[in-house]
Amino acid sequence: MARISVKVDGIAYEDDVEPRLLLVHYLRDRLGKTGTPIGCDTTNCGACTVLLDGRSVKSCSVLAVQADGCDVTTIEGVSSNGEWHPVQKAFHEEHALQCGYCTPGMILASIDLLKDDPDPSEDAVRQGLEGNLCRCTGYCNIVRAVRRAAQEMRVTTP
Amino acid sequence: MTEQLDAGAVAQQIREHDALDAPGGGSEVGRARRRKEDARLVTGRTQWTDNIQLPGMLHVAFLRSPMAHARITRVDTSAARTRRGVVGVFSGQDFAGEQGSLPCAWPVTADTVIPEHPPMAVTTVRYVGEAVACVVAVDRYAAADALEAIEIDYEPLEPVLDMTEALAEGGPKVHEAGNESFTWKFAGGDIEAAFHEAPVVIDRTYVQQRLIPSAMEPRAVVAQTDGDHFTLHSSTQIPHVLRVMLALTTGIPEHKLRVIAPDVGGGFGSKLQVTAEEVLCLLITRRLGKPVKWTESRSEGNMTVHHGRDQLQNIRVAADADGRIRGVQVKLLADMGAYLMLVTPGVPLLGAFMYNGVYKMDAYDFTCTGVFTNKMPTDAYRGAGRPEATYAIERLMDELAVEIGVDPMEIRRRNWIQHSEFPYTTICGLTYDSGNYEAATDRALALFGYDKLRAEQSDRRERHDPVQLGIGISTYTEMCGLAPSRVLGSLSYGAGGWEHADVRVLPTGKVEVVTGTSPHGQGHETAWSQIVADSLGVPFEDVAVLHGDTATSHKGMDTYGSRSLVVGGIAVVHACDKVKEKARQVAAHLMEASPDDVEFSEGRFRVRGTGTSQTIQEIALATFAAHNLPDGFEPRLDASATFDPENFSFPHGTHLCAVEVDTETGATAIRSYVAVDDVGNVINPLIVEGQVHGGIAQGIAQALFEEAVYDSDGNLLTTTMADYLVPSAADLPNFTTDRTETPATTNPLGVKGVGEAGTIASTPAVVNAIVDALRPHGVHDVRMPCTPERVWRTLRTGGGEPA
């Protein structure tokens, strides 16, 4: 067992974990952070994407021990003061989700994408999200949502 | 022929129009309401089955056969039992007396061979991935760890992997009874006369590759019991059908079994199933008395979630010299895999009535043979039978156009049912109630800029540009809204196709709708709320939709086959009508008027010719109080309706695809994609557009990317998402979508269904475009998926034989 200290969605945790425990299992099974789903076992689908110290990672390919000392943001920590993040709002407005299983990962990957490129072209969004798979939407509305959120965020954070 | 419109500007106009909030109320139906479902989905408050944690819950992991075909000669679970955290280890022998056989509800002929299908193999394994043992342990890691300690010896048998070889005499057999499950025939008109001395006969064979549905949420099951009653949570599309089937399979009485489909992350047909894991988790919880959970990994799922398609299609057309179709003959081999699952043999039958497409003809002849192989069973996958049929006829229409020497759109116009001819009874005996192929096509051509792209194609051909341009057309229709019960009965299906709804008006005037449909991404909570808001005149926000739990929604036929709105939505309408009729009685009584003089509109009952009125909410409260009701009136406004459609519905549309093909590398790139669909009246244009987008993406995926590949020993090579290429955003273009609206005449909403349309339409549009680009190189077919390698090889072998 290894001792880890990790902050998840603003709350500090200390836990003993098996060195092989995946971060996503730590989040889901130990902390009850079930907002982060698992879609594959080969790091292809991105459903489990979270922010690790602000950068998007696939939490199925990070060990819990690697998150020691880190700050993790899941979909459950994206809203602030009950207000949805602009990316959450845009996904709702543009109907960028159907079954919603890929949505938490898609939103967190989009937040990271918009950090690097606050005004992405359609192509930049498509390339930037290629590590996150969606089976329902055909991606058109996801692309629209990310660009809408970008516009919103540029207006609100000059 | 066409005008060039700015597709982007048009799409924007449509969106702005759709986004309009009707000022001062007005009709909810037709509005682009944002979905009620989204709040929990975008914030991570969803309840997926795998989220469920129960006190004392145990975790199940399955050991799966590494052999495609083998006899189990020895099983030793003793070492596994000693591993940390292990509570139980079971093999097929342990369940042999109680596990029954997984059901097939669709024996398509009287002599269909339906082999025993034990949920866990006992003596013989027949595909790689078949469950052979399981570990039950205190956590998922411990369960997975102990699998390696189970010892099983196999005596290999020769696998059957090719349908044509399977039917040859003297080869290995999947089952003792042989490799043919059934042969089903259907005919209309005189096919011999149609082909006799026909000026044009074209004969093609197309391969519908095997597909893996790949819903994003892997399957998961949680089973629990109090010793008498059982509750099963499952990531399923069919909680109601599942309850009946599990009761019949396990012997747990139906009234002591509750099935819940909580939030379900997509299905596409793959969760229209009664699975081995669902049965086994129930048996394990019965045996151990503890709640158990099983969640599959993606690799496990690719092997063991039922696959789709996998048909070999021989299609012949006879035509006059001007291209008018005389007859179509289809001979199909359909790969069942190793067993018949819930509707495995019925899938090709759903296509049997669709090979005529939108076209008129004098004769039609269809034969399908279901073949066993040592592979994962096939079953419903988005479109189920209809994509295969549409692909074959739409590919063949292009071949016919080349043979006759006319534009592929012209050959379609010469053969399709004219708008003025509806309702039209097809050669298959179906009555298409309404449609307007001309309108949808004209709209699509304008959005696409067809003439301009043809001109560019000519230019590239003349210049011998290494990057050629192809244009693909698909003018499709489909039969959906499954289904009239009597028709299902005539096709030997084991159940009906009706749907049920309850509408309950609560004391405060809020409304609960209980639907027998079981959404898993389709937005029923939103769409049903729109329908009820209009019907009862209550605010959209005041309607809640309950579904997916057999304890609250006791009756239903669930969600598949684009049926939910067309069948389930109509049940909701009928239930609302009954509620209004009850409320009218109360309103008339309270306002001291004759019920005949009471009118209802926008949520208010008015006495004709007076200013007296009562809202439906006031009537609800008065009914709850029950102080002053008509004599003998039962104090409730609640009503139920079960609706059985009399006909299928027939959405249609025109999809156009332009593909650039690099003749030096074989790479393809979709340059533009236009879809104009006619799904009848639309409840929520945002949801309809989303369904079309997703459907197109899945159809394109079949055309370009996806194939489940088995090696010569029967091992699945595409077990991961690194090998089985579900397309990402970077692999797909933007789609231009629009609609025409020709209302269905067979239901009060005028709706036709939209869940499968995009998938049915898009695959042939894409492949037609690729073949069109390569015609000057002598290519008349490229086998799907049209990967760069396959396109490149086809170019070099010159022709179109399956590579």
Give tens-digit pLDDT for B681-736: 999 999 999 999 999 999 999 999 999 999 999 999 999 999 999 999 999 999 99
Q: Do A32 and B694 touch (CB under 8 A)?
A: no
Of A20, A36, A98, nearest to B694 by CB-CB distance is: A98
The distance between the two most distant Cα atoms of chain B, rounded to a whole number of Å, is 87
**Residues of chain A found within 8 Å of residue B39, distances taken between Cβ atoms:** 92
Nearest chain B CA: its distance from A5 CA (Å): 22
Q: Is the peptide bond before B423 cis (omega within 30 degrees of 0)?
A: yes
Residues B314 and B367 in one domain: yes
Residues B627 and B651 in one domain: no
Which H or E run contains B233? strand B230-234
Q: What is the pLDDT of residues B741-755, one digit of tens each?
A: 999 999 999 999 999
Q: Where are the domains of chain A?
A: 2-76, 86-156
Please check whether residue B113 is in contact with residue B175, taking contact to mean a CB–CB distance below 8 angstroms.
yes
Q: Do A42 and B299 touch (CB under 8 A)?
A: yes
Which H or E run contains B92? helix B92-95
Residue B493 lies in a domain: no
Instruction: Tell me if the domain spanning A2-76 has CATH number 3.40.50.80.
Output: no
Residue B214 lies in a domain: no
Residue B276 lies in a domain: yes
Suggest the residue from A40, A85, A127, A137 to mutate for an interface test with chain B (most B CBs closer than 10 A).
A40
Neighbours of B101 (CB within 10 A): 14
Of B268, B298, B729, nearest to A130 by CB-CB distance is: B729
Q: What is the pLDDT of residues B187-241, one digit of tens each?
A: 999 999 999 999 999 999 999 999 999 999 999 999 999 999 999 999 999 999 9
The CA R_g of chain B, rounded to the nearest whole Å, is 28
CA distance B226 to B30: 47
CA distance B89 to B143: 9
User: What pLDDT does B528 receive?
Assistant: 98
CATH number at residue B62: 3.90.1170.50
Q: What is the pLDDT of residues B7-60, one digit of tens each?
A: 444 444 444 444 444 433 469 999 999 999 999 999 999 999 999 999 999 999
Residue B661 lies in a domain: yes
Q: Do A41 and B50 touch (CB under 8 A)?
A: no
Q: What is the pLDDT of residues B254-266, one digit of tens each?
A: 999 999 999 999 9
Of A21, A107, A137, nearest to B694 by CB-CB distance is: A137
Q: How confident is the model at residue B454 (pLDDT cuts 50, 70, 90)?
A: very high
Nearest chain B CA: its distance from A158 CA (Å): 25
If you write DSSP's letter for every residue of B593-609 in order, what string do you get? S-GGGEEEETTEEEETT
Residue B366 lies in a domain: yes
CA distance B584 to B594: 10
Q: How confident is the model at residue B562 (pLDDT cuts 50, 70, 90)?
A: very high
**Residues of chain B found within 8 Å of residue A20, distances taken between Cβ atoms:** 141
Q: What is the pLDDT of residues A30-57, one digit of tens each?
A: 999 999 999 999 999 999 999 999 999 9
Which H or E run contains A145? helix A140-156
Q: Do A100 and B50 touch (CB under 8 A)?
A: no
Average pLDDT, chain B: 95
In this prediction, what percent of chain A has a pLDDT beyond 90? Answer: 96
CA distance B356 to B793: 32
User: What pLDDT does B7 receive?
Assistant: 43
- What residue in B sits closest to A27 (Cα-Cα)? B51
- Please check whether residue A124 touches B, CB under 8 A: no
Neighbours of B172 (CB within 10 A): 14
- What residue in A sits closest to B722 (Cα-Cα)? A44
- What residue in A sits closest to B266 (Cα-Cα)? A99
Q: How confident is the model at residue A158 (pLDDT cuts 50, 70, 90)?
A: low
**Residues of chain B found within 8 Å of residue A98, distances taken between Cβ atoms:** 266, 521-523, 690-691, 694
- Please check whether residue B217 touches A, CB under 8 A: yes
Suggest the residue from B41, B686, B687, B732 to mutate for an interface test with chain A (most A CBs closer than 10 A).
B41
Residues B608 and B692 in one domain: no
Please check whether residue B698 is in contact with residue B763, taking contact to mean a CB–CB distance below 8 angstroms.
no
Q: How confident is the model at residue B799 (pLDDT cuts 50, 70, 90)?
A: low
**Residues of chain B found within 8 Å of residue A107, distances taken between Cβ atoms:** 42
Residue B653 lies in a domain: yes
User: Residue B545: which of B527, B521, B570, B565 has the closest Cα?
Assistant: B527
In this prediction, what percent of chain B has a pLDDT beyond 90? Answer: 96
DSSP reduced 3-state for A125? helix
Residues B285 and B312 in one domain: no
Please state the separation of Cα B730 from the chain's center in Å: 25
User: What pLDDT does A129 receive?
Assistant: 98
Which H or E run contains B639? strand B639-643
Which H or E run contains B765? helix B757-774
User: Residue B562: which of B499, B465, B681, B480 has the closest Cα?
Assistant: B480
Q: How confident is the model at residue A156 (pLDDT cuts 50, 70, 90)?
A: confident
Please check whether residue B730 is in contact with residue A130, taking contact to mean a CB–CB distance below 8 angstroms.
yes
User: What pLDDT does B19 receive?
Assistant: 47
Residues B413 and B365 in one domain: yes
The CA R_g of chain A, rounded to the nearest whole Å, is 15
In what side-by-side order are the strands of the sheet with B363-372?
A: B180-188, B363-372, B325-337, B308-319, B200-211
Neighbours of B607 (CB within 10 A): 18
DSSP designation for A27 = I
Of A84, A93, A127, nearest to B730 by CB-CB distance is: A127
- Please check whether residue A39 touches B, CB under 8 A: yes
- Please check whether residue A132 touches B, CB under 8 A: yes
**Residues of chain B found within 8 Å of residue A126, distances taken between Cβ atoms:** 728-730, 732
Of A18, A104, A139, nearest to B697 by CB-CB distance is: A139
Residues B240 and B354 in one domain: no
- Please check whether residue A88 touches B, CB under 8 A: yes
Residue B699 lies in a domain: yes
Of A95, A99, A142, nearest to B686 by CB-CB distance is: A95
CATH number at residue B561: 3.30.365.10
If you write DSSP's letter for every residue of B729-748 in order, what string do you get? GGG----EEEE-----SSST
- Which CATH topology does A86-156 take? DNA polymerase; domain 1 (1.10.150)
Nearest chain A CA: its distance from B521 CA (Å): 3
| Position A23 pLDDT exceeds 90 | yes
Q: Are strands B292-295 and B257-260 parallel, antiparallel or unpaired?
A: unpaired
Residues B476 and B514 in one domain: no
Residues B143 and B274 in one domain: yes
User: What pLDDT does B21 receive?
Assistant: 43
Q: Do B44 and A135 touch (CB under 8 A)?
A: no
In chain B, the number of structural domains is 3
Scanning B520-559 for CB atoms below 8 A from A yields 520-523
**Domain assignment of residue B114, given as a range:** 49-157+219-295
Q: What is the pLDDT of residues A79-114, one digit of tens each?
A: 999 899 999 999 999 999 999 999 999 999 999 999
Suggest the residue from A101, A123, A148 to mutate for an interface test with chain B (most B CBs closer than 10 A).
A101
Q: What is the pLDDT of residues B480-539, one digit of tens each?
A: 999 999 999 999 999 999 999 999 999 999 999 999 999 999 999 999 999 999 999 999
Residues B472 and B374 in one domain: yes
User: What pLDDT does B26 receive?
Assistant: 65
- Please check whether residue A61 touches B, CB under 8 A: no
DSSP designation for B554 = -
User: Residue B766: which of B708, B706, B676, B699 has the closest Cα?
Assistant: B699
Residue B35 lies in a domain: no
**Residues of chain B found within 8 Å of residue A93, distances taken between Cβ atoms:** 34
User: Residue B455: which of B473, B469, B474, B472 has the closest Cα?
Assistant: B469
CA distance B732 to B595: 58
If you write DSSP's letter for every residue of B367-417 in order, what string do you get? EEEEEE-SSPPB---TTTTHHHHHHHHHHHHHHHHHHHTS-HHHHHHHHBP
Please check whether residue A111 is in contact with residue A87, taking contact to mean a CB–CB distance below 8 angstroms.
yes
Q: Do B140 and A29 touch (CB under 8 A)?
A: yes
In this prediction, what percent of chain B has a pLDDT beyond 70? Answer: 96
Of A29, A35, A138, nearest to B693 by CB-CB distance is: A138
Q: Do B37 and A100 touch (CB under 8 A)?
A: yes
Q: What is the pLDDT of residues B356-366, one digit of tens each?
A: 999 999 999 99
- Please check whether residue B296 touches A, CB under 8 A: no
Side chain identity, residue A145: A
Residues B629 and B665 in one domain: no
User: What pLDDT does B467 receive?
Assistant: 98
